[in-house]
Every structure is written in C-alpha cells, then in structure tokens.
Structure 1
Amino acid sequence: MNKLIINWWRSQQFKLALHRGDNRSALQILQKIQKSGAKFSTLEKIFREKIQFERDLEEHKREITNLRKQIVEKSKLNLFLHPNPEFIKYLSTSFKLIQHDDYKLQATGIDEGIFEDFEARLVEYIQEELNKIPEQKLLIKLEDAVEDISSLKVGQEPDYRFSLTPHVYFMKYFLENVYCLYLAWSLIYQNGLLPTKFNILDIAAGPGTTAYGLALFLQSCSSFVDIPQMHVSYYSLEKQDAFQYRGLQFWRKYIESRKTPVNNFFRFVTTDIFAWDVKSSNIPKKFFDFIVISHCFFTDSSKRIQSNNIYKEIFANSLNNQGYVLLIIQDKKLFKAYNADQTEDKEKEINIVSKFIEELGLHLVWYKYLTSTSLRKPLANSEFGKFAKDNLPKQIYMNQLLKKYCNQNYESHYTLDDYVILAKK
C-alpha cells in the first residue's frame, strides 16, 4: 500500500515540476519512478520520449559540427599544396642544403634533370635569336648590350636601351635568379603556404623570373606529389617591354611545351614605377595573394625612399588581407643601404632585415639568407672562384655562349647570395 502511495506522490510531484517548467527536477523524478519499477503514465512516457528525442538531436548536431570541421580542414588542404616529406627530402639532397642556423641556408647542388633541360632550351632559344642578326652587326650590338648590363655589377641601373640587352641578361643573370626564385618558392611550399589557385603581382618583373622559378619548382614537385589542377594569374609590372616580350616568347617556347599541371594567365603592365600613379592604375585592388619584388631595390637613399613609398601604396591597395610579400635582395645591396658590413653576427643581421621591412611598412613572417658558401661574409674573388669550381653546379651549356659572345674567360656556376624575405601587411 505504501509503495502505491509513494508512486502516486511521485507522479504528482512530476506533474508539478512540468507545470513549473522545471524539466531538470521532472527528469530526476522520472528516473526514480523508472528505478522503482512502476509503470509510466501517458504523460511520463511522452516526456521520456521528448527527452530522448532532444538527446538524439544534440548528438546529431555534434556529428554535423564535427563533419563540417572535417570538410573545412580538408578544403584547406585542397587550397594549399600539402608539404610532402619525400619531396622535401629530395630537395634537401639534390640541392645539398645545409641549415647552418635559423636564418642561413647553404645550397651547393641543383635539380639537374630540371635545370639542365631548362638551360639547354634557353641556350637554344638565344642562339636562334642571335643567328637572325648579321655577324658584323651582331658583334656591335652585343658589345653595347654587355657594357649596358655590366652596370649591375657596380650596383647601378642599366639603361636597357639596346636591343640585345635582354639576351645578355638571359646569358649572364637569368639562370642564377631563376635558381634563387625556385628555392624561394620551395621554402614557401615547405611552410604550407603555397596555394593551388593564386594571383601574383611581380614588380620590376624583368622577363618573368618569378614565374619561371615557380614553374620549374612545380615541375620538380609533380614527380612526387599528385598536384591538383592549379591556376596562377601572373601580373608583370615592368618598365622594359623588351624584357616582357622576350620572357613571354621563351615561356611559350619552353614552359608551355612541358607537361605541367599549372594554368597560367599572364597580364603585362609596361610602366616605370617612378612615373606610375598607383591610385589611378588598373591593377586590381585587394586581389593578389603574393606581391614579389626581386632585386629591384636601391642603395641611393632618395631613390630608396621614393620607391619604398610607391611599394607601400601598392601593398596597401593591391595585396589581399591574407596575402604575402616576397622580397629578394642581394646581400651586398641590403647591407650597403644601411652603411653596414656583412657579418656573422645574427643579431646585427636581424636588425638590418627588420629595418628593411619596417621601411616598407611590413611585418616579418620569416627570412632566409641563401648562400653558396657557409659564410655570410663574401669570399675574395680568387677564393670564390676556386670554391665554385670545386663545389657548385656549372652552367654547362650557357658557358659556351658566354665564351663565344661575351668574351667570358671563366666558367659560370649556379650561385646564391640573396636574402629571401616573406612578410605581411
């Protein structure tokens, strides 16, 4: 009899709890009723089913949330090339990379299969172009172009007014710069920052060194990684239309004949940045994932200030909020701009790089000093010549042209002496 009364009293308490909207107390009472073995009333059954439904609903919501998170993570992986350990190991072996400290990276090797073919085709292209010019005229044109481009050795800007200046640039500097840009893109890839679809603005682009470095890197990568369909929009901002023309001409002859997973869209803007109105330009706003400036920096203080102000405007107007700025500057030029000597002192180096970045209104993400030697200080010419002969990959095909057309009596090698700097707004 007492058991029936207790069960009746619990049922009444259950109804009162529901009436008050106190579902927590109602659930506790329902659990006591179930434990006692008493049969549920119709109201108690409905409430139990309601509680079970709500629990199932919450579980489904959690499953959906987890699935959405997985989809987002997978989509992120699809938006970027996921670093492949085997490929990274291959890069380290083939380029003979040695990480001397957090910032200094030595490279004395190369991906021979990629670069030897590229170099051979470049030499073939240059020779075909030079063969179109009568020999007597060719010698005069080459002499003017060699003298013009040689200004780069003393830190001066060439006039670029001669028809064969682009060809001499191809012979003397192009391969080394592509080599450097290849490694720069490889560092971006190893940090998981290389997208499958992205837009590049290349300032002072020359013949498109940035695009060539990326294309060769992706050729190497495709042997190890199943690269998804990629799309790269490449904007060349360059004063010399002859460089843009020759760069695109060789691209069509070589790159587009290779098996490559990349779709490239090219747009050429031929203008002098010092005479360029950023605000009225038709360069897309907030569009670029990468803005690249490779070797277009000035030691003259007035020119440096002027160019930096223009660069800052371009970054502010054209780089998207998640975008990066990739800067390549030769070691000598970087330190000379601040009247400093190259040194093994990392703290001094960091201060110089920080000043350089601050003047451009940027925030440093990371930087690497790419060097052929194990030192930050340059070797004497005779010492470096011996080191290069013993340790660095030769430009085996290009050396023939340099000897023939530029009277070069020493062998050129693939060398590095550049700071690769990644930054954000």
Structure 2
Amino acid sequence: MNNPIVNWWRSQQFKLSLKRGDIRRAVQLLQEIQKSGATFSWLEKLFRDKLQLERYFQEYKRQTETLSEQLTAFQQKANLILLPDEEFIKYIYKVFNLIEHDEYKLQSTGIDERIFDDFESRLVEYLKEEFSKIPDKQLFIKLEDALEDINNLKIGQDPDYRFSLTPHVYFMKYFLENVYCIYLAWFLIYQDALLPGKVNILDIAAGPGTVAYGLALFLQSSSGFFHIPQMHISYYSLEKQDAFQFRGLQFWRRYIESRLTTVNAYFRFVTTDIFTCETESNNLPKDFFDFIVISHCFFADPAKKVEANNTYKQIFATSLKNSGYVLLIVQDKKLFKVYDVHQVENQEQEKNVVHKFLAELGLELVWYKYLTSTGSRISLPVAEFGKFAKEKLPKQLYMSPIMQQYFDQKYQSHYILDDYVMLAKKS
C-alpha cells in the first residue's frame, strides 16, 4: 500500500543514511521505496543510477578478467603447439602430390626433393665410406650374408641381425621408404595442430631411429615458411639390436645435427628385448611421453601377437601421458593377413579391421590414413606396378646405383608407400 507519510519518512531516512555514509542502509531503504511503488526523488534516481553503473562496471571487470585468462591459456597453448601454417600445408600437398581419394585413403606420388635428395645423397656417402673400410672380396660376402638375413622380412620372419652389415643393408633397402612414410605421418599430426614444440617420444623397436629422422626432415621442410620456436625433442629409443642404434646415431651426428639449428634433441638409447626383459618396460618414465610410436613391429603368430600386445598395453598404460597419443604404422598386407581378410576397396571392412586392431591394444582411434602410392587398396600386378613406378613415383637417384653395384639390382629404386598410419589414445 502506497502511504505518503511512510514514503516521506523513508525518503528522509534515505537522505540521512547518505549523509552518514551508511551505503548499506541507503540501498536497503531504496529497495523498500521501490517495492512501495512510490515515485523516486531526483536524489533517489541518482543513487539508483550510480548503483546500476557500479554493477555494470563489476560485470565488465569480471568478463575482462575471464577473457584475459582465456587469452593467456590460448597463448600458452599456442607456444607449446606448432600451429599449422596454411602456405606450408599447401606446399606439402603440392610437392608430395597428395590426393585424398576418400576419408581414409591418401595417395602420394611426390616428394620434397630439396630435403630428400640431399638426405639420400649423404646417406649413400656414409655407406660408401663404411664400405671402403672393407676389402672388396670380404665386402661382397658380408653384404650377401646381411642381405639374405634381412630378406626374411619379406616372408614375415624376423632377421637374426647377427651380421655386421645388416644395418647397412637395412639403410639401403628399407630406411628411405620408412623415413618417407614417417615424415608424412608427422605432417598429418602437425596439420591437426597436435605437434608440440616440446615433445617426448618413445620409439618401440626403433631400429636406427627412423621416427626421429622422419620428424627431423619434416621440420627441415618448414624452413622458409614459418619460424619454429626453440624446440626440444626427447627421443627414447627402445631397440634390442645395438648395431642398429649405433649406426643410426652415427649417421644422425654426421647429417642431421649439422643442419638443425633450432631443435634441441636429447637421445636415450636402451638396448633390450622388451618381450623377454620385463624390467625395462617397468623402468620407463611414468606418464612422460607425448607420443609412443610403434612402426612395423607387429606379429602374425598368435602367441607372439598376444605377448607383444600385452607388453604394449602395459607401456601405454604407465608411460603415456593422459593427453598423449600412440602412433602406429602397419604395412597393409600384414594388417589384413592377421585377420585373414583380403584388402579390397571397402571402407567399412577396412574400418572394422582397424578398430579391431586397436581394441586389441587397448586403444581408441583418433584417425587413420592408408598411405598409398598407387591410390588403390588393391595391389597392382608386378609389371603394371613397375610401369606405374617408373612413370609416377619419386626415384631414389643416389641409392639405386649402389643397389645395382652391390646387389645386381636391375631396376630403379623408388619411394613407395603401402602403410596404414593410425593415431590413437588410451581408451
């Protein structure tokens, strides 16, 4: 009820509260006047407007603080992640002639010649220097023994790796193609803004460090497109063949370290068989790695497969950061052979195989790509593929002559892709 006398008394009390500086009482009286339905005096209107402006200011201040915190968090994340550069991505698609045939199939028939030609030529120089230390007659015998050993890979068996030149033959036959594949895998990770400037990598069954080489060459390709912040790579190589680790590090020091000026790379080499030595996998750093990579170290034999998968799952569970990723690279025929399935142009069948493969490792898919040179999931006949490679695929210009010299190879070597690259997280 609007009572003039009561209203007058409230207004007088309101003025008195303001004079005394009792703002809390003044606010209370203003609310009572408003509820009574009485018309505000000019002083009461002025005080009401003042309170409203103060509320607006406090709200603005809170919003500003929130935005500032969000901006700081974004900047910190941006400093940790190599943000994708549009022009560089266009360059990679152009020089590698990348064609996305569907969501999962990515064809590559090109290469960054300014990076790979130099890398290949320096690798050949290193091999020739190594070979020059061995008398010719002995050299050919040693190479023949190592070639016979490493060719077991073609029939799905593990080489013995007991020969002194087995790492060298691996460099000649498989290393360049595997670096080529790993390079593109790192590009896909970078393209998705998932590559941090400070990165801890565990490479299981690392060989000569193919994973590190692929990343190093990829970072070299970015020169001229954007400034790479001071990167720090901690690379942990887990490999049972010390000869592979030694030769990989030896060539790294000769070639890579002389070219990377903005990347600090710390290497730790652990020589052990993780399938027979449980203690080493337990000794790995806990919750440390941003990426755990397994490239081509998967088994068709059911017992060996279960043993390996259990070891891998243990390592993922204990050593991968919760925010980390697992990068897996599997040769196409090997992936499908495990499940007794023929690879065909069927995306649903392919997805089912990939999901089954990851489920057995306790992993959840982020994405996968089938990297192929031909653009087809179905293998071409040998003669047809040979013609295709000769016309379309990048040549190994420097490696081919020594392959012809030492192994009597009759054809030109090329960079060829036929691998599934899978990025996954812990389930």
> How high is the TM-score relative to the length of structure 2?
0.92
Task: Give the RMSD, CA atoms, in angstroms.
Answer: 2.6
- SS of residue in 2 equivalent to 1:419: strand
What letter corresponds to residue 25 of structure 1 in structure 2? Answer: Q
Worse overlay, 327-336 or 59-68: 59-68
What letter corresponds to residue 232 of structure 2 in structure 1? Answer: H
Map residues 197-346 of structure 1 onto 2, 5 A cutoff: 197-278=198-279, 281-346=282-347
| Percent identity for Structure 1 against Structure 2 | 62
The answer for the alignment partner of 1:422 in structure 2 is 423
Map residues 65-104 of structure 1 onto 2, 5 A cutoff: 65-104=66-105
The answer for the alignment partner of 1:347 in structure 2 is 348
**Of 25, 28, 35, the match for 2:31:** 25
Corresponding position: 1:117 with 2:118: yes
- Change beyond 3 A, Cα 1:253–1:26: farther
What letter corresponds to residue 120 of structure 2 in structure 1? Answer: E
- SS of residue in 2 equivalent to 1:140: helix
Worse overlay, 411-420 or 76-85: 76-85
- Change beyond 3 A, Cα 1:278–1:423: farther
Gaps of 5+ in 1: none
- Change beyond 3 A, Cα 1:174–1:23: farther
The CA distance in 1 between the partners of 2:131 and 2:37, in whole Å, is 94
The answer for the alignment partner of 2:362 in structure 1 is 361
The answer for the alignment partner of 1:11 in structure 2 is 11
Contact residue 10 and residue 29 of structure 1 kept, 8 A: no
CA deviation after TM superposition for structure 1 residue 8, in Å:
3.0
The CA distance in 1 between the partners of 2:38 and 2:72, in whole Å, is 43
Worse overlay, 15-24 or 291-300: 15-24
The answer for the alignment partner of 1:161 in structure 2 is 162
The CA distance in 1 between the partners of 2:358 and 2:260, in whole Å, is 38
The CA distance in 2 between the partners of 1:322 and 1:27, in whole Å, is 57
Contact residue 371 and residue 421 of structure 2 kept, 8 A: yes
CA deviation after TM superposition for structure 1 residue 32, in Å:
7.7
Worse overlay, 395-404 or 73-82: 73-82
What letter corresponds to residue 11 of structure 1 in structure 2? Answer: S
CA deviation after TM superposition for structure 1 residue 181, in Å:
0.1
- Change beyond 3 A, Cα 1:135–1:53: same
Q: How many residues align?
A: 417
Contact residue 367 and residue 419 of structure 1 kept, 8 A: yes
CA deviation after TM superposition for structure 1 residue 253, in Å:
0.1
- Change beyond 3 A, Cα 1:164–1:361: same
Deviation track 1:119-138 (CA, whole Å, cap 9, x = no partner) reads 00000001101111111211
The answer for the alignment partner of 2:400 in structure 1 is 399
CA deviation after TM superposition for structure 1 residue 217, in Å:
0.4
Deviation track 1:281-319 (CA, whole Å, cap 9, x = no partner) reads 321011000000000011111111110110000101110
The CA distance in 2 between the partners of 1:240 and 1:370, in whole Å, is 28
What letter corresponds to residue 368 of structure 1 in structure 2? Answer: K
- Change beyond 3 A, Cα 1:108–1:31: farther
- SS of residue in 2 equivalent to 1:256: coil
CA deviation after TM superposition for structure 1 residue 239, in Å:
0.6
- Change beyond 3 A, Cα 1:82–1:409: same
Corresponding position: 1:409 with 2:391: no
Contact residue 7 and residue 33 of structure 2 kept, 8 A: no
- SS of residue in 2 equivalent to 1:257: coil
Deviation track 1:129-152 (CA, whole Å, cap 9, x = no partner) reads 111111121111111001011111
Worse overlay, 402-411 or 190-199: 402-411
Map residues 362-377 of structure 1 onto 2, 5 A cutoff: 362-377=363-378
Deviation track 1:66-118 (CA, whole Å, cap 9, x = no partner) reads 11111111111111111111111101100001100000000000000000000
CA deviation after TM superposition for structure 1 residue 404, in Å:
1.0
Deviation track 1:42-70 (CA, whole Å, cap 9, x = no partner) reads xx96x976765554344223211111111
The CA distance in 2 between the partners of 1:394 and 1:96, in whole Å, is 14
Contact residue 208 and residue 247 of structure 1 kept, 8 A: yes
Deviation track 1:13-34 (CA, whole Å, cap 9, x = no partner) reads 757996598588269589987x
The CA distance in 1 between the partners of 2:33 and 2:310, in whole Å, is 69
What letter corresponds to residue 302 of structure 1 in structure 2? Answer: A
Contact residue 278 and residue 314 of structure 1 kept, 8 A: no
Contact residue 197 and residue 232 of structure 1 kept, 8 A: yes
